[in-house]
Structure 1
Amino acid sequence: MSIEKPYITLKAFLSKPDIDCDDLETFLSSRTYQNFELSSNESLSGRLYVKNAEEKQPTWMPFINTGITGSLNLSNKSNSAVLFIEVDGRVVAYTFGYGRSMLDLDRFLPDFGMKTALNTLRHDSLKSVDIFTVDRSAVQKRTQAVRSSSVGDFGIDVSKDILRAVTGNPKENIPFQSVSGGDYVYSFGAYIEFDDLIETSRSLISYYTQESYKDQFSWVDNIRRLKNDTKKSELDEVLRGVIDAKDATNLAITAPEVVSWDKISGFSFTRSKSTIYPTLIIETYLKSLGDNSITLSTLKNHKLFIYDTDLNERCHSLYKSLYFEYVEANKTFILFSGDWFEIDNDFVVQLDRALAQIPISDLEFPTVHNWTHEDREKIETEGDYNERAATLKSYHLLDKKLIKSRTTTSAIELCDLMTDNKQLIHVKHKKGGSAGLSHLFAQGYVAAEVTISDKEFRKKARAKLRGIRADLDSLIPLNGIKSSDYEVVYLVLGDNNSTVKSALPFFSKINLVKAFENLTQKGFTVTICGVEKERIEPSTDSDESEA
């Protein structure tokens, strides 16, 4: 490295190996950009494309002008450019400004940024990580460290976290400064001249093809991108059928990037663009489709529009905004950010072994009622079921009896039902899908942990119990409480004991195992059970129960 060379931060993308490089304009999302030939030495082949900058007035300026003397006249201008470098039959694209929006990303490797970053940075030098957590809801998180840290310092759960972006310091043999990568893009700082881009591009291709990341980051393959195009096409057709059926059970919609929610004013979709919705939920999109069947091509052409508080519009592929979970035989596939991921089979085997260790509860529960009302299928609400179960089995009803704790962000229930033998029963419908069931397991864990650790919570819980029966506060002693005295029972409505564990959505299994391991380590007994549905004749107030 020569300090006489200029320092620049570059963002690079690598073309797929089977893409023809003869016409560089095919790598662009449009052919209406200005282009410039390169004036460097003959070994450097490529071209620069630039998008004409547009000036826009800030949306807040008219409001300000109504309250000041004179007139404020401001404008914003954004610039975009892409530099293509051809090397060894591949194209490396370097973007500047908003140049990423100029690329046709279907022609570039979707894992280039992440894999190249993991191969080039020191595992103990991480500065920030972006992860997608597949949990009771799809959550994207960015965590930054005050100083360079190892991956263990970021609290990553390798069983359900997908690493999406990472920043750190390069290894000793890497001639770059700070490096980062995520999905398509690899970013790095370097002291280079323009003519050095040919060798730099060759180096980037070499870094991508290495497997050194497996020494310290092998866990990223627990959940890995699916590369079989035929299989991806099959899964896309499954997705299309689910959307056609308006089935949102294992389907969700999320912004395909980490966004600043305090700066977002709303969302809209291709078929209802004139309506801006304040929240982003899958049911809104499904409703916008109407009753007509949707093709896969239409689905992939649909857009999600995100508006900031100045009503500036950002457009994303709707397909890349979907989260979908699909189980097939002993494999689980998830779609996120336009990519299909396959769960490692060894990971599945380990999970099933852990799941087998969780016992079935000995408690007895009534079946959950379902019926037909006005040609619609109805099923008993959790609240109605809890009331009926408490009456039939002499359980104590604590559903909706919320208690505040200093250690939780909101008031929680001690449990839904409780027995005289200190069994804390948490109840959830299977029909709630992965999100609802994962919430069930988290709910049981949090309530049990708070009961043991928070004396003020126990004091309030004892008051709730005395409201049911004067002597029930003895079930939760104020002092000297022992976790080994309690059993946390997870009750799933709509399944039976023989299949209640195996029928769980994949990531709900992960959450159950995590809750079981954490609670048993604290001394609790943990069990699970299920109750089947039973069809009954509708009662006169059946229309008040949920569909």
Structure 2
Amino acid sequence: MARTYRRLNLFMAKPLGAGMTFADLLAAAPVITYPMANSLGIDGVLFVRQSAEKRPSWGSLLDEAAGHVIPDLANRSSSAVLLLRSNGDIFAFAFGYGRYLIEQSLFVQDFGLRTALNTLDNKSLRSVDLHTLEDQPVQKKSQAARDSEVGVFGIDILRDVLRAVTGIPKRGVALKQIAGGDAMFSFGVDMEAVDFPALAQRIKGYYANEDYKASFSWVDNVRKVRDEASVNALNAQLVQAISARNPGILVTLPEIGAWDTILGFSFTRNKDVVRPVINSEDYINTIADLPSLTIENLKRDRLFVHDVDGNTTEHSVYRCIYFEIINGDKTKIIFDGKWYEVDATFIGRIAETLNSIQISTLAFPAVEVWEEGGVSKIESEGDYNIRAAAAHGYFLLDKQLVKTDRTTSPIELCDLLTPTKQLVHVKHRKGGSAGLSHLFAQGGVAAEIMLGDKAFRKKARTVLRRVNAAAHDLVPLHTVRSADYEIVFLILGEDSATLKQNLPFFSKVNLTKAFENLTQRGFRVSIGGAPTTPRLLP
């Protein structure tokens, strides 16, 4: 048979266990097995599943519109996978919907993405798929109109996990139209059936090298753990840590909450005991038999969020857990119900930047806590800001919104403004990583808009005059010198001495990003904490 251009999808299997065969790599689905032609000399098996012809679900609607049954409306999908052994390695070529025939947890999880990065011309990318490590995780796909460099896609190397990429192969790679994501590598090539083993080995060679580090080294900063066996092992360590009451276990909201309306939190088996902050011990103490805890318990149990209007929302405790496992030069982190592997070098860079962030020298009162009607309560951000402003002569700008055409809604210049031009942004520690990352982003956005938008400054000055005439000229209309200002991130419920080290990793990432962005623009940046103290009864 003459060579023909084909579009192929390739997977590489992990080493088979003792006694395993090709068939053990398949997912549970009925298939027909075909041996390979003797003339090819290929050690492999072809598995084919052909779905029965089905009429599409929208066919009946068209029948009704036409007044009679419309013939020849049919869907048919075919699936096939060729599993073969070459030089001791096992590969799967998938055709049609064949990728659904294999048990993908038994295949090398980064084979597709890494091979693509090793073979792509870094200046001819067509699309990228990203998973952004936000408190409310965002998945994005960006596509360029023509061959482009990676910078065109606006990738944030501190927070974006690259999931898939497409583009043109670099010179010397005899493939066409490359795409890779997770375990699957897709490519075009001129070939015939006898070429399957040699082609698979050639692709493995591309996977095995480290060419990608020249242009894509940042992809190793944070990678999602996708291998089912690895996830199961990490889940087992998580359960063991909870059972041992490991102090590193943190329960936090997996998304940004409306903190002005949140009354408190409770857990399954103790729903009526509402606390003002999320405390991991409160959950652990509800488990009667800790040694028998399972990952299914964590997924089934709930964190309840109670608001001031009597409404309750809930999240799986498994989604709410934040925990770090250090193993050698790698750190594994569970966040929003997903495990991530963080490179040690990346962690070191984050720690180095954190060390550069100064602790604020401003005076702040402690946050008041008390018991009321058998319920533990903590001072709200709004009440705290009012008290802090009165105690130290700060201007209260909390909830004083300024309109700008650079954001979708009006924003606060800050929560507290000092006479010496410190812009203080305040957030409760009880919100976990979700609230903290929102705090850092909020401070960065407000400072950048103040610096670059004269119309915003004009409106801000009007707000400042309304708050206090003495605050009016703290934001000049025409020329703003960023060096005159200090951006202060104040976190309620945590002492300054332990603040930085106790931040969740992804909050550390977002803090360092805000710090670097703001200091590059000339602002001074500091962080401070306000511990809790019992409220004195009148």
**Could you tell me the TM-score, scaled by structure 1's length?**
0.78
Q: Is the 8 A contact 1:111 1:184 kept in 2?
A: yes
Corresponding residue number in structure 1 for 2:201 = 202
Partner-residue secondary structure (3-state), 2:497 = coil
Q: Shift of residue 110 of structure 1?
A: 0.7
Corresponding residue number in structure 1 for 2:449 = 450
Q: Is the 8 A contact 2:251 2:320 kept in 1?
A: no
Corresponding residue number in structure 2 for 1:11 = 9
RMSD of the TM alignment (CA)? 3.7
Q: Which amino acid aligns with 2:416?
A: L
Q: Is the 8 A contact 1:325 1:333 kept in 2?
A: no
Percent identity between the two aligned chains: 43
Corresponding residue number in structure 2 for 1:363 = 362
Deviates more, 1:239-248 or 1:94-103: 239-248
Corresponding residue number in structure 2 for 1:34 = 32
Distance 1:44 1:450, change over 3 A: same
Distance 1:183 1:518, change over 3 A: same
Q: Shift of residue 183 of structure 1?
A: 0.9
Corresponding residue number in structure 1 for 2:252 = 249
Corresponding residue number in structure 2 for 1:460 = 459
1:357-436 superposed matches below 5 A: 357-373=356-372, 375-436=374-435
Q: Is the 8 A contact 1:488 1:525 kept in 2?
A: yes
Q: Is the 8 A contact 2:322 2:333 kept in 1?
A: yes
Corresponding residue number in structure 2 for 1:175 = 174
Corresponding residue number in structure 2 for 1:513 = 512
Residues in 2 aligned to 1:472 and 1:486: alpha-carbon distance in whole angstroms: 14
Partner-residue secondary structure (3-state), 1:514 = helix
Q: Is the 8 A contact 2:126 2:146 kept in 1?
A: yes
Q: Is the 8 A contact 1:81 1:99 kept in 2?
A: yes
Residues in 2 aligned to 1:242 and 1:156: alpha-carbon distance in whole angstroms: 35
Q: Is the 8 A contact 2:132 2:161 kept in 1?
A: yes
1:137-536 superposed matches below 5 A: 137-224=136-223, 235-240=234-239, 248-249=251-252, 295-296=294-295, 325-328=322-325, 332-335=331-334, 340-373=339-372, 375-536=374-535
Partner-residue secondary structure (3-state), 1:498 = helix
Q: Is the 8 A contact 2:105 2:227 kept in 1?
A: no
Residues in 1 aligned to 2:203 and 2:392: alpha-carbon distance in whole angstroms: 66
Q: Is the 8 A contact 1:13 1:94 kept in 2?
A: yes
Residues in 1 aligned to 2:320 and 2:106: alpha-carbon distance in whole angstroms: 22
1:30-109 superposed matches below 5 A: 30-39=28-37, 41-55=39-53, 58-59=56-57, 69-70=67-68, 74-109=73-108
Q: Which amino acid aligns with 1:327?
A: E
Q: Shift of residue 506 of structure 1?
A: 1.4
Q: Which amino acid aligns with 1:167?
A: T
> Unaligned regions of 5+ residues in structure 2, if any?
257-282, 302-315
- 1:328-383 deviation line (CA, Å, top 9, x unaligned): 56964234899744322232222222212211112111111223445544322222
Q: Is the 8 A contact 2:31 2:49 kept in 1?
A: yes
Distance 1:461 1:156, change over 3 A: same
Q: Shift of residue 481 of structure 1?
A: 2.6
Q: Shift of residue 531 of structure 1?
A: 0.6
Corresponding residue number in structure 2 for 1:542 = none
Distance 1:14 1:508, change over 3 A: same
Q: Shift of residue 460 of structure 1?
A: 2.0
Q: Which amino acid aligns with 1:131?
A: L
Q: Is the 8 A contact 2:251 2:321 kept in 1?
A: no
Distance 1:118 1:529, change over 3 A: same
Corresponding residue number in structure 2 for 1:308 = none
Residues in 2 aligned to 1:205 and 1:334: alpha-carbon distance in whole angstroms: 29
- 1:158-197 deviation line (CA, Å, top 9, x unaligned): 3333222121222333221011111110010111112211
Residues in 2 aligned to 1:335 and 1:496: alpha-carbon distance in whole angstroms: 25
Count of residue correspondences: 486
Q: Is the 8 A contact 2:252 2:322 kept in 1?
A: no
Q: Shift of residue 388 of structure 1?
A: 2.4
Q: Is the 8 A contact 1:325 1:332 kept in 2?
A: no
